[in-house]
């Protein structure tokens, strides 16, 4: 189930990146590159930082195939995908929870401090989107309004609190991802944003 959710999240992130690139009127190669970095940028950075090489998508070519699938789906159905924004948002939200958990577990497996593990989880979930926005000449969304990264941090803290109770891993993953997904959905529904800081 965990791998399946990872697959869904990867494909959804690729579609999201491709649609963003097409809105910027990039050529087909540029669209593919944006789709690719959106889907695996966070995991690539995480693996490099902890010395896990070759990085994940080089070990498992299924990720490359999924990104390519997302790329072609975005191109072929780009007009119809506007009607599926709710579904894409849900997949993106699932990806947020799953990618955060993957980053946390990679940190735990490497025997890193919980604070560093939470940072790795946040990077895994967010850095692909940050790279996408920078390459598309935009201020990353997570720095402007959405509480995307904050949700990753909350999920990471909850992960380590529950881990002290020696819960089964599947139960732990389910609780943490469910909380993160719920917060994300409520944040969008009720328009929860962090206040912008301005110089007087």
Residue 145's pLDDT is what?
66
pTM of the shown model: 0.85
Run of H or E including 19: helix 2-23
The secondary structure of 41-71 as a DSSP string is: HHHHHHHHHTT--S-HHHH-THHHHHHHHHH
Judge whether 74 and 35 are in contact, CB under 8 Å: yes
Considering 4-13, 40-49, 85-94, the range whose residues carry the highest mean pLDDT is 40-49
Mean per-residue pLDDT, 71-84: 79
Judge whether 72 and 15 are in contact, CB under 8 Å: no
Give CA–CA dist 118/86, Å, rounded: 28
Q: What are 98-146's pLDDT values in tens digits?
A: 889 989 999 999 999 999 999 999 999 999 989 988 998 888 877 766 6
All residues at 6 or more sequence positions from 30 whose CB lies less than 8 Å from its CB, including other chains: 21
């Amino acid at each position: 189930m965990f791998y399946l959710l990872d697959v869904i999240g990867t494909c959804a992130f690729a579609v999201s990146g491709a649609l963003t690139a097409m809105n910027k009127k990039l050529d087909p190669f540029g669209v593919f590159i944006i789709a690719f970095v959106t889907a695996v940028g966070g995991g690539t950075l995480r693996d490099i930082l902890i010395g896990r090489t070759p990085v994940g998508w080089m070990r498992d070519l299924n990720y490359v195939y999924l990104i390519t699938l997302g790329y072609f789906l975005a191109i072929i159905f780009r007009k119809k995908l506007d009607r599926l924004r709710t579904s894409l948002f849900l997949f993106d939200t699932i990806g947020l929870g799953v990618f955060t958990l993957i980053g946390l577990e990679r940190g735990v497996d490497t025997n890193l401090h919980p604070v560093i593990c939470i940072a790795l989880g946040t990077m895994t979930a967010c850095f692909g989107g940050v790279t996408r926005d920078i390459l598309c000449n935009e201020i990353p969304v997570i720095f402007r309004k959405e509480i995307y990264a904050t949700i990753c941090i909350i999920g990471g803290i909850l992960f380590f609190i529950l881990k002290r109770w020696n819960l089964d891993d599947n139960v732990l993953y389910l609780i943490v991802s469910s909380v993160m997904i719920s917060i994300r959905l409520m944040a969008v529904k009720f328009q929860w944003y962090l206040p912008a800081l301005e110089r007087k």
